[in-house]
Amino acid sequence: MTPGIKLTKIWADDDMLELRVQICDGRSVFVNQIYVGHKHLAEAVLGLDRFKDQVHGGLFNLRFGEFGPEYASGALDVRMHFRKQGKVLLRVLAESEFSDFDGREIASDATLHLLSEPALLDNFVGAIRMLSEGSREHAELEAIEWS
């Protein structure tokens, strides 16, 4: 899988979407599913649209779902930070849905770090806007290799 974050719609109704989230840093891959309300997704698009112009040190947290066993499905938190030389640093926290494991409720989780660029972020904002509007089934934030 190419490094980045890919959101794919797998189900929707009048209130929310269920998304498959694939995160790859070029070394590791984590996949989970999350529920996102249509209103929350539209608000995220507005926030990302503002953030993409804050190339001099801007910060943004893209968060879908909630962490912990009290909530349905998984969770995603992407902390985006513009750095020097036109790069976007991404710290991605993800958690799967909780399920029974030998009598205990557990979830898999991951922290991945990615590096992207403003033009790739612009592409993602456009794609996630179309996902929110229902005219597209997926959105991807491409990342670049780092070492």
Average pLDDT over residues 98-112: 94
CATH code, 52: 3.30.2450
Query: What are the structure tokens assigned to 144, written together?
Result: 């670049």
User: Is residue 84 scored above 80 in pLDDT?
Assistant: no
State residue 85's pLDDT score: 76
Would 78 be classed as within a structural domain? Answer: yes
Would 56 be classed as within a structural domain? Answer: yes
Split into its structural domains, the chain has a count of 1
Would 31 be classed as within a structural domain? Answer: yes
Query: In this structure, how many other beta carbons lie within 10 angstroms of the beta carbon of residue 87?
Result: 16
Domain hosting residue 137, numbered range: 4-142
pTM (2 d.p.):
0.94
Q: 76: closest CA among 144, 27, 123, 128? A: 128
Would 48 be classed as within a structural domain? Answer: yes
Question: Residue 88 and residue 80: Cα distance in Å, rounded?
Answer: 6
Residues 6+ apart with CB under 8 A from 57: 81, 82, 83
State residue 6's pLDDT score: 98
Would 9 be classed as within a structural domain? Answer: yes
Would 27 be classed as within a structural domain? Answer: yes
Would 147 be classed as within a structural domain? Answer: no
Predicted confidence (pLDDT) per residue in 107-132, tens digit: 999 999 999 999 999 999 999 999 99
Q: 93: closest CA among 9, 34, 52, 144? A: 34
For residue 5, the cross-strand partners are 23, 141
User: Is residue 1 scored above 80 in pLDDT?
Assistant: no
Would 101 be classed as within a structural domain? Answer: yes
Predicted confidence (pLDDT) per residue in 12-69, tens digit: 999 999 999 999 999 999 999 999 999 999 999 999 999 998 878 889 999 999 999 8
